[in-house]
Structure 1
Amino acid sequence: MKNKELGMNKLIKKTLRLILPIVLGGFILYWVYRGFDFTKALDVLTHGTKWGWMFFSLLFGVMAQVIRGWRWKQTLEPLEAFPKTSNCINAIFVSYAASLIIPRMGEVSRCGILKRYDHISFAKSLGTVVTERLVDMLCIVLVTGATVSLQLPVFTTFLEQTGTKIPSLLHLLTSVWFYIILLCVLGVLLLIYYLLRTLSFFERVKGVVLHVWEGVMSLRNVKNIPLFITYTLLIWLSYFIHFYLTFFCFSFTEHLSVLAALVMFVGGTFAVIVPTPNGAGPWHFAIISMMMLYGVNATDAAIFALIVHGIQTFLVVLLGIYGMASLSFVNRTKKISTQ
């Protein structure tokens, strides 16, 4: 009876982990797009999108994930782990797709892939993923600091309009945008809660934390630090270009500057931290709100966010399918050749 109750509790928790991010993202999307005429977005998609620019943008989206795979392999080498380069890249492809189903599941799935195909310690590879996230967090902080200093008036206006600036606190209860931001914050707190629960589980497993820490500290022994830094810069540059080039896909955004793109890129980066599938909902809210500050009307901004997010998410799905197929084919071929 007790085992049955434990099993039921685990099932409920897994179900909530799957459903809550979708519900959160869906609610925010509903609120942002309530009353929106989706036929206008369809018309722009079929007749008003410059697909040459869109495909050019997608190339940089692919490149960012490929370089991330190269960098991950570099951080594994100090641990005497030498996975196939293709396995690292394909694991990255699959991890992004997995996170569409359960946010942040990608970090776990890619470590599992290397354990399966290259027999690399799951705990150690998880440690290198933690290191990567810390490095990426540092990059986000640096980019955000530079962007805020260059476009401070824009950020100030954004905070005023969303009711999150200190002088506007009296109007919070009447601000729709505030409630959206509040939901996003609660989502992040929920994610942190699950991460802490996961960590407490690892602490109960003897030796696992030690292996994770060994993976975290692998960065100290990376042979070519300049190459690691170059990979990191190229990853974030690719992410930015991936986003910026989408401005040239539409007549109503092609006039926007690089600084405008940088502001929205920073806003979108923080939005995807919220545990919804690919940042759906919070990302749309951030991009639409900031794009309107640069003179784009609400309808066009909503169309931009809907089309760009949809196409970029579709790319993630395609790469995930390719990654799964490639992992199976390449490693099966390798197994046959060694027999």
Structure 2
Amino acid sequence: MKEHLKKLLSLSIPLVIGLGIIYYQFSTLTQNELDKIKVCFQKADYTFIFLSLIVALFGYWSRAYRWKYSLNHLGYKTKFHNDFFTVCVSYLVNLTIPRSGEITRAALLKKYEKVPFDKGFGTIVAERIVDLLVFLLFVILAFILQFEKLYAFLASKIPFEKIIILGISMSILGIIFILVWIYAEWKIIQKLKEKLAGLIEGMQSIYKMKDKWKYIFHSFFIWFSYLIMFYVTIYALPETSNLTFDIVIMGFIFGTLAVGFTNGGLGAYPLAVAMIFSIFGVSKDVGIAFGWLTWTSQTILTIFLGLLSYLFLPILNKK
């Protein structure tokens, strides 16, 4: 009963948050702004939307291909179509319960390739660590490129004294966390240390991997394809087609962060992109329209590929 309730909450809470964000976003718009959003959807050049989906396919392919290197390192020679289809299904499942796709992916690999669940899941965890590190490089690059603009925006919203207080408070909290991490013997800290040790072990397995440089190349290529996918979409609307690449990176970063808050970024993704673009002079209605164009097209692709993969997996693996 508790497990059933836990699954229900895992599904419903992000969904409720997403629907709440959508309600908030559209309830704050005037009728004129709503009409402008409709016009944006009508006049959008969907050639660029379609092109962005093609770029996204390269990201799917690269993620599946990268997976083969870590599986080969463990001694498992898997069929590429099974790797690709399980990746597609995992993206689809992530639209229901955030991050549940990773479990599904490892379970499907066990079913169709006989790779033990724990080993398959371990390779996926290692992937997530690498993905996080690559994403952090994008974040650092974006903040370096837009430091002056972001600082000016924050300074206009938050008094300088509060920024100093916030900085000091964060530093103190950081020191406290380090001390607790080193010296505390609480069970939760010990469990976190065990988890971290497992993650480090996963990272070390990548270092020992025969094809580690190919693995690293695909790790960067995956995120590069995600960024280009987002960048291509700006040409779908005349109002966003003149955005510079550094501004696009900022929208991409905050949109990516928003995906984890709700089911596949429902509501949160368009709102985050619109808020960031507004800092750089894009009107509220255009920013919202762009966010929904990007999110909707990618979600449709995810659903289509996921359902198609779920259909083909049992067909192609008939004995």
TM-score using structure 2 length: 0.83
Name structure 2 gaps, 5 residues minimum.
166-186
The 8 Å contact of residues 17 and 102 in structure 1, kept in 2 or not, is answered as yes
Alpha-carbon spacing, 1:226–1:131, altered in 2? closer, same or farther (3 Å): same
Give how far 1:154 is off. 2.9
The 8 Å contact of residues 123 and 211 in structure 1, kept in 2 or not, is answered as no
The 8 Å contact of residues 88 and 302 in structure 2, kept in 1 or not, is answered as yes
How many residue pairs align between the two structures?
A: 291
In the aligned structure 1, how far is the partner of 2:237 from the partner of 2:209? Answer: 43
* Residue 219 (1) aligns with residue 206 (2): yes
Corresponding residue for residue 89 of structure 2: 94
What secondary structure is seen at the aligned counterpart in 2 of 1:12? helix
Corresponding residue for residue 43 of structure 1: 39
Amino acid at match of 1:311: S
Amino acid at match of 1:278: G
Give how far 1:83 is off. 1.4
Amino acid at match of 1:13: K
In the aligned structure 1, how far is the partner of 2:260 from the partner of 2:146? Answer: 22
Corresponding residue for residue 14 of structure 1: 7
Amino acid at match of 2:209: V
Corresponding residue for residue 267 of structure 2: 281
The 8 Å contact of residues 270 and 288 in structure 2, kept in 1 or not, is answered as yes
Alpha-carbon spacing, 1:93–1:161, altered in 2? closer, same or farther (3 Å): farther
Corresponding residue for residue 254 of structure 2: 267
Amino acid at match of 1:316: T
In the aligned structure 2, how far is the partner of 1:164 from the partner of 1:321? Answer: 50
In the aligned structure 1, how far is the partner of 2:199 from the partner of 2:111? Answer: 18
Corresponding residue for residue 148 of structure 2: 153
Give how far 1:34 is off. 1.4
Q: Give 1:231's match in structure 2, choosing from 210, 218, 222.
A: 218
In the aligned structure 2, how far is the partner of 1:101 from the partner of 1:164? Answer: 40
Summarize deviations over 1:132-158 as a string: whole Å, max 9, x none: 111111111111111111111233355
What secondary structure is seen at the aligned counterpart in 2 of 1:103? coil
In the aligned structure 2, how far is the partner of 1:253 from the partner of 1:221? Answer: 44
Give how far 1:164 is off. 11
In the aligned structure 2, how far is the partner of 1:163 from the partner of 1:83? Answer: 54
Corresponding residue for residue 130 of structure 2: 135
The 8 Å contact of residues 128 and 216 in structure 1, kept in 2 or not, is answered as no
Amino acid at match of 1:17: S
The 8 Å contact of residues 255 and 273 in structure 2, kept in 1 or not, is answered as yes
In the aligned structure 1, how far is the partner of 2:127 from the partner of 2:300? Answer: 25
Corresponding residue for residue 281 of structure 2: 295
Corresponding residue for residue 79 of structure 1: 74
What secondary structure is seen at the aligned counterpart in 1 of 2:260? coil
The 8 Å contact of residues 98 and 260 in structure 2, kept in 1 or not, is answered as no
In the aligned structure 2, how far is the partner of 1:90 from the partner of 1:296? Answer: 38
Summarize deviations over 1:247-289 as a string: whole Å, max 9, x none: 0000110011111111111222222232x11122332222111
Alpha-carbon spacing, 1:159–1:283, altered in 2? closer, same or farther (3 Å): farther
Summarize deviations over 1:212-235 as a string: whole Å, max 9, x none: 987664313321222112111211
In the aligned structure 1, how far is the partner of 2:13 from the partner of 2:97? Answer: 10
Root-mean-square deviation (CA, aligned residues, Å) is: 2.8
The 8 Å contact of residues 89 and 306 in structure 2, kept in 1 or not, is answered as yes
Corresponding residue for residue 117 of structure 1: 112
The 8 Å contact of residues 131 and 217 in structure 1, kept in 2 or not, is answered as no
What secondary structure is seen at the aligned counterpart in 2 of 1:262? helix
Alpha-carbon spacing, 1:12–1:147, altered in 2? closer, same or farther (3 Å): same
* Residue 108 (1) aligns with residue 103 (2): yes
The 8 Å contact of residues 158 and 289 in structure 1, kept in 2 or not, is answered as no
In the aligned structure 2, how far is the partner of 1:83 from the partner of 1:256? Answer: 43
Q: Give 1:70's match in structure 2, choosing from 61, 65, 69.
A: 65
Summarize deviations over 1:159-208 as a string: whole Å, max 9, x none: 457769873799xxxxxxxxxxxxxxxxxxxxxxxxx99x97xx9xxxxx
The 8 Å contact of residues 124 and 213 in structure 1, kept in 2 or not, is answered as no
Give how far 1:44 is off. 2.6
Corresponding residue for residue 229 of structure 2: 242
In the aligned structure 2, how far is the partner of 1:136 from the partner of 1:331? Answer: 30
Q: Give 2:300's match in structure 1, choosing from 278, 302, 314.
A: 314
Alpha-carbon spacing, 1:210–1:119, altered in 2? closer, same or farther (3 Å): farther
In the aligned structure 1, how far is the partner of 2:134 from the partner of 2:197? Answer: 27
Give matches, 1:131-210, under 5 Å.
131-157=126-152, 159=154, 167=162
What secondary structure is seen at the aligned counterpart in 2 of 1:65? helix
The 8 Å contact of residues 115 and 121 in structure 1, kept in 2 or not, is answered as yes
